[in-house]
Amino acid sequence: MIEPARDAGAAVPAASPVMVQYHEIKQAHPGCLLFFRMGDFYELFFDDAVTAAQALDIALTKRGRHEGADIPMCGVPVHTAEAYLARLIRAGFKVAMCDQIEDPAEARRRGAKGPVRRAVIRVVTAGTLTEEGLLDARRHNYLAGLAEAGGEIGLAWLDLSTGAFALAPTSEPALAGDLARLMPGEILLPERMLTRPALFELLAEWKPALTPLPNPRFESEAARRRLESFYGVGALDGFGNFGRAELAAAGALVDYVGLTQQGRAPHLEPPRRVAPGSVMQIDAATRRNLELVTTLAGERRGSLLATIDRTVTAAGARLLADHLAAPLTEPAGIAARLDAVQFFVDRPEARAALRERLKRCPDIERALTRLSLGRGGPRDLASLRQSLGETASLRDRLAQPGLVPLPERLSEAQHGLGEHGVLVERLGRALAAELPLFARDGGFIAARYSNELDEWRSLRDESRRMIAALQARYAGETAIGALKIRHNNVIGYYIEVSANHAGKLGPEFIHRQTMAGAQRYTTAELAELETKIASAAERALALELRLYEDLVAEIMARRAEIAAAATALATLDLAAALAEMATEALWVRPVVEEGTAFEVQGGRHPTVEAALAAEGKGGGFVANDCGLADNRVWLVTGPNMAGKSTFLRQNALIAILAQMSSYVPARAARIGIVDRLFSRVGAADDLARGRSTFMVEMIETAAILNQAGPRAFVILDEIGRGTATFDGLSIAWAALEHLHEVNRCRTLFATHYHELTALAAKLPALACHTMRVKEWKGDVVFLHEVGPGTADRSYGIHVAKLAGLPKTVTARAEEVLGVLEKGEQGGALARLADDLPLFRAARRRAEPVLQASPAEALLSETRPDELTPREALDLVYRLKNLTTD
Given the rule CB under 6 A, which residues bind ligand ADP?
A: 608, 620-622, 624, 638, 640-646, 784
Comparison of 279 and 622: residue with beta carbon closer to ligand ADP: 622
Nearest distance, CB of residue 821 and ligand ADP, angstroms: 20
Express the helix, strand and coil content of the chain in percent, nearest 5 each.
50, 20, 30
Nearest distance, CB of residue 581 and ligand ADP, angstroms: 20
Comparison of 64 and 620: residue with beta carbon closer to ligand ADP: 620
C-alpha distances in Å from residue 796, one per residue of 641, 752, 788, 802, 823 = 9, 10, 21, 10, 18
Comparison of 169 and 722: residue with beta carbon closer to ligand ADP: 722
Do the Cβ atoms of 362 and 387 come closer than 8 Å?
Answer: yes
Which stretches of 303-450 are DSSP H helices?
A: 304-308, 314-325, 331-346, 348-359, 364-372, 378-398, 408-417, 421-430
Do the Cβ atoms of 213 and 256 come closer than 8 Å?
Answer: yes
Comparison of 130 and 757: residue with beta carbon closer to ligand ADP: 757
Contacts of 192 (CB under 8 A, 6+ apart): 215
Nearest distance, CB of residue 816 and ligand ADP, angstroms: 22
Q: Which residue is nearest to ligand ADP (CB)?
A: 643
Comparison of 590 and 603: residue with beta carbon closer to ligand ADP: 603
Q: What distance in Å separates the CA atoms of residue 619 and residue 495, rounded to the nearest whole number?
A: 86
Comparison of 355 and 649: residue with beta carbon closer to ligand ADP: 649
Comparison of 445 and 655: residue with beta carbon closer to ligand ADP: 655
Angle at 431 between CA 425 and CA 432, to 5 degrees: 135
**DSSP letters for 628-672:** -SS--EEEEE--TTSSHHHHHHHHHHHHHHHHTT--BSSSEEEEE
Comparison of 621 and 678: residue with beta carbon closer to ligand ADP: 621
Amino acid present at 475: A
750 membership: H or E segment, kind and range: strand 746-750
Closest C-alpha to 310, from 630, 753, 606, 616: 606
Q: What distance in Å separates the CA atoms of residue 798 and residue 802, rounded to the nearest whole number?
A: 6
Bridge partners of residue 448, in order along the sequence: none
Other beta carbons within 10 Å of 265? 13
Comparison of 497 and 681: residue with beta carbon closer to ligand ADP: 681
Task: Tell me the three state secondary structure of residue 505.
Answer: coil
**Sign of torsion, CA 183 185 190 191?**
positive
Nearest distance, CB of residue 700 and ligand ADP, angstroms: 17
C-alpha distances in Å from residue 869, one per residue of 859, 865, 874, 880 = 16, 10, 9, 17
Other beta carbons within 10 Å of 356? 10
Comparison of 472 and 802: residue with beta carbon closer to ligand ADP: 802
Give all strands of the β-sheet with 95-100 in edge-to-edge order: 61-66, 69-77, 41-45, 33-38, 95-100, 118-124
Nearest distance, CB of residue 633 and ligand ADP, angstroms: 18
Q: What distance in Å separates the CA atoms of residue 772 and residue 781, rounded to the nearest whole number?
A: 9
Comparison of 388 and 641: residue with beta carbon closer to ligand ADP: 641
Closest C-alpha to 519, from 503, 507, 532, 541: 503
Nearest distance, CB of residue 788 and ligand ADP, angstroms: 17
Q: What distance in Å separates the CA atoms of residue 779 and residue 840, rounded to the nearest whole number?
A: 29
Nearest distance, CB of residue 752 and ligand ADP, angstroms: 9
Which stretches of 102-241 are DSSP H helices?
A: 104-109, 172-182, 197-205, 220-231
Comparison of 342 and 645: residue with beta carbon closer to ligand ADP: 645
Q: What distance in Å separates the CA atoms of residue 719 and residue 542, rounded to the nearest whole number?
A: 70
Nearest distance, CB of residue 649 and ligand ADP, angstroms: 8
Comparison of 487 and 617: residue with beta carbon closer to ligand ADP: 617
Nearest distance, CB of residue 286 and ligand ADP, angstroms: 17
